[in-house]
Amino acid sequence: MAFSIRFAHAPDLSEIEKVENAADQLLIDLLRPERWEPAPTGESRIREPGYMLVAETGHAAVAGFVHVLETEDGCHLEQLSVAPAHTRQGIGRALVTAAMREAAERGYPTMSLRTYADVPWNAPFYQTMGFAERDPATPFQRALVAVEESLDLDRYGRRVLMIAVPSEDSEGTAHRT
């Protein structure tokens, strides 16, 4: 399937929320939580400091997105979601690659993320993208851990912080449209 990656626009925002809720269902089915919060709205995501990239299919449908926060401590991959109908087609990998390239172009020396260590499409996937486990070192990273602890997310499995070095040489550039 052909797809392109570009920066998110206002018409994408409702689709972004739908994609995340659909993708979350895979995690819900695996972890079996008693309750799972619905995805934040695309509108709330786009208002946060940072950027969002979408993978768009030939039919102009949003097949996936990546949301990157820019904080006083650096660059953080907040969310990667691919619609279940579009998984295992390289979309997630292309989105992360494009997000890392954009981070490098913006001058960030590293990109962080928090994820489940043992969910196959979480930490093992990110390891193939150059991310490695690290201890939280910045105030932002420690705050993420505190929020996760308050939500008791580790009851579903070990949570880890991962860091990668973004590269401007990465393939998967986002198109500014």
pLDDT in tens, 62-83: 999 999 999 988 899 999 999 9
Tally of structural domains, the chain: 1
Whether residue 171 lies inside any domain: the answer is no
Whether residue 174 lies inside any domain: the answer is no
Whether residue 170 lies inside any domain: the answer is no
What H or E segment, with its residue span, contains residue 142? helix 139-150
Here the tokens at position 168 are: 């401007």
Look over the chain and give the mean of its residue pLDDT values, rounded to a whole number.
Answer: 89
Q: Is the pLDDT of residue 176 over 80?
A: no
Give the pLDDT score at 152.
Answer: 83
What number is the average pLDDT over the span 27-36? 76
What number is the average pLDDT over the span 23-48? 83
Distance between CA atoms of 99 and 67, rounded to whole angstroms? 8
Distance between CA atoms of 103 and 111, rounded to whole angstroms? 7
Q: Is the pLDDT of residue 1 over 70?
A: no
Amino acid occupying residue 46: I
Whether residue 19 lies inside any domain: the answer is yes
Expressed as residue numbers, the domain containing 36 is 3-164
What number is the average pLDDT over the span 112-119? 93
Whether residue 120 lies inside any domain: the answer is yes
Distance between CA atoms of 61 and 74, rounded to whole angstroms? 31
Whether residue 40 lies inside any domain: the answer is yes
Burial 143-174 (b: 16+ CB within 10 A, else e): ebbeeeeeeebeeebebbbbbbebeeebebbb
Helix intervals (H) in 41-122: 42-47, 91-105
Whether residue 176 lies inside any domain: the answer is no
**CATH classification at residue 111:** 3.40.630.30
Here the tokens at position 96 are: 């992360």
Whether residue 169 lies inside any domain: the answer is no
